[in-house]
Amino acid sequence: MHIPITAVVKIITAAIIFACYLKIHRAYVKNKIEDGALKHFSLFFLGMAIFQIILALGYFPIMINNLELFQSVHNAAYIIGHAFLYLSIAQIVAASFVINFSQNKRNNTIRKYFYNFVLLFGSVLLVISIMNPTNPSYNYETSLAVSNPSQLVARLMPILIILSIALPGILFIVKSIKLKGAARGKSLLIGIGLIIFFIGGPMHNFAKDINAFLFADIIVIVGFIIIFAGVFYTQLFTKKTIE
């Protein structure tokens, strides 16, 4: 059985993200705030973990040495996986609005419009992806792959990522300046991690060779490691005193 490194990286990334989901989901269940930031955060991490796992499954034909099935299976995984990606980044938009802006009728209306815009934009990208399948390539010597999506998707996706990932990342960093202690560390790390993810994610669409695609994978996993550090900030960086 052949093990694609690209798939392994995505599974590791999914595990890191799923750990964040479990932490946030426990807090959400404990607080039981129906439309609070914790709900949106937990759905963001859950969707991102599923996204990474589905992308990894797209390399199953490589594992069983069936290169003929690779393109069709990879393309299906790309489309289904990105559906979860667009759903999850809509959640981080909602979470950033809840955290950074007062909850009044005007701001809630803006949040809903922004949320629906992200979903609509993502739906358009999915239709384009269905009409213009990926053209993946795989190198058995390096165990690395390149997705090669539609160039139209490659050009449009950064716009969506800027609006749904980069802006929330900036908001978290700005908010951290106003906070103190562990809250500042959490907000800062999550913001930095989102910005790094914003850089690495779209790079996959422009990667023309296996090294560039792997580099994009590494940037994404680094981004989520930093987000993980923000989510688990108290456990990782706060000293506990024993009385």
What's the confidence (pLDDT) of residue 226?
94
Which CATH number is 5-234 given? Answer: 1.20.1070
DSSP state of 101: S
pLDDT of residue 241: 41
- Helix (H) or strand (E) segment spanning residue 46: helix 37-57
Q: Which residues of the chain have pLDDT under 70?
A: 32-35, 102, 238-243
Name the token pair of 78.
């790309």
Q: What gap in Å lies between CA 164 and CA 114, rounded to an integer? A: 9
pLDDT at 35: 57
- Sequence ranges of the domains in the chain: 5-234
- CA nearest to 151, candidates 206, 190, 113, 114: 206
pLDDT of residue 243: 39
Three-state SS at 150:
coil
- Which pLDDT score is estimated for 94? 86
- Return the pLDDT at 137: 86
Asked if 200 and 216 touch (Cβ cutoff 8 Å), the reply is yes
pLDDT in tens, 219-243: 999 999 999 999 998 887 766 544 3
* Digit-coded pLDDT (tens) for 79-99: 999 999 999 999 988 888 887
pTM for this model (two decimals):
0.88
